Amino acid sequence: AQSVTQLDSHVSVSEGTPVLLRCNYSSSYSPSLFWYVQHPNKGLQLLLKYTSAATLVKGINGFEAEFKKSETSFHLTKPSAHMSDAAEYFCVVSEVNSGGYQKVTFGTGTKLQVIP
Amino acid sequence: EAGVAQSPRYKIIEKRQSVAFWCNPISGHATLYWYQQILGQGPKLLIQFQNNGVVDDSQLPKDRFSAERLKGVDSTLKIQPAKLEDSAVYLCASSLRQGRNNEQFFGPGTRLTVL
C-alpha cells in the first residue's frame, strides 16, 4: 500500500525568503513522486517529478525537490519566495501495482502563504 | 494542444437530486481519472479508466455514484441521489498511458454544492 504525508497543512513565509514544503511517502514498489500546485480557482499543474533518474529534480518557477530514499522524503524547496507562489501544493506518489496499473495517491496539501 | 475539458463548472442541487458531470480528456490519452476533492483535502481517486475499461473503482461509492467511458474518449460521472457530503470539486484528469512516470493533466473541475 502507498501513502503520502505532507507534514504541514499551512506554511507562511516572507517574500524573498526560502520555501520548504515537506513530504514523506510510503510505497511497496519503486515509486515516482510528483509535486502539483493549485492556485485559487485554477486547475492542478505539475511542478516537477522524480522518476528514478537524478535524485535532485528541478521544476518550473524555480522550485526543486530532492528524493531521499533513506528518509522516504521528497521535500519541495525554493530559494526565494515570490508573491505569485501563494497556492496549495500537493505531493503525489505513483506506482504500478501487481496488476500492471498505475496507482496514484495525493497528499492532503500544504497551503503556502507569502507575506509581502 | 487543447487541455482537459469539464462541464459544468458549477452546479447547485438539493439533496436526493441527481447530477451528471462530463469530461473530455486530451486527445489520444488512454487513461482517464475522476477525483473528488472536498474542501481542505487532497484529491481522492474515485475511478480510473484505461480506454473504455475500468481499472480501479475501489473508492467509488457504487450505491450512488456511477461513471462510464463508452467509446474510450469522453466520460460521464453521475451521482444519484446526492447527499450533503457529496459537496466537493470533481476533477477529471487524463494521461497518455499507464505507467508510474506518467504525468496527469487536470481539468478545471466542477464545483458541486448540495443543499
Residue B16: is it exposed, middle or buried by C-beta count within 10 angstroms (0-12/13-18/19+)? Answer: exposed
Gyration radius from chain A CA atoms: 14
The predicted-structure confidence for B39-90, as pLDDT tens digits, reads as follows 988 999 999 999 889 999 999 999 999 999 988 899 999 999 999 999 999 9
Question: What is the rounded distance in angstroms from the CA atom of residue A56 to the CA atom of residue A77?
Answer: 11
Residue A2, helix vs strand vs coil: coil
Task: Kindly report the nearest CA distance between residue B93 and chain A, in angstroms.
Answer: 9
Q: What is the mean pLDDT of residues A75-103?
A: 91
Q: What is the pLDDT averaged over residues B8-16?
A: 96
Chain B, window 4-63: residues with a beta carbon less than 8 angstroms from a chain A beta carbon: 4, 31, 33, 35, 40-45, 48, 50, 55-56
Residue B40 has a pLDDT of 86
B4, B40, B98: residue with CB nearest A102:
B98
**Residue to test with chain A: of B100, B104, B105, most A Cβ within 10 A:** B100
In the block, cell 487513461 appears at B31
CB atoms under 10 Å from CB of A40, counted, come to 7
Average pLDDT over residues A107-115: 96
pLDDT (0 to 100) of residue A1: 75
Residues pairing with B7 in the sheet: B22
The average confidence (pLDDT) of chain B is 93
> Can you tell me the mean pLDDT for A70-92?
96
- The answer to whether residue B1 scores a pLDDT higher than 70 is no
Q: What are phi and psi of A61, to 5 degrees?
A: 60, 30
Determine the average pLDDT of the residues in A100-104: 83
- Beta-carbon contacts of A91 under 8 Å, excluding residues fewer than 6 positions away, are A4, A6, A21, A23, A25, A33, A34, A35, A74, A76, A106, A107
Q: What is the C-alpha to C-alpha distance for residues B43 and A44, in angstroms, rounded to an integer?
A: 10
pLDDT in tens, A22-79: 999 998 777 899 999 999 878 899 999 998 778 899 999 999 999 998 999 999 999 9
Q: Do B103 and A49 touch (CB under 8 A)?
A: yes
User: How confident is residue A10, by pLDDT bands cut at 50, 70 and 90?
Assistant: very high
Percent of chain B with pLDDT over 90: 83
Stretch among A4-13, B43-52, B62-71, B99-108 having the lowest mean pLDDT: B99-108
Locate B10 and state its grid cell: 458549477
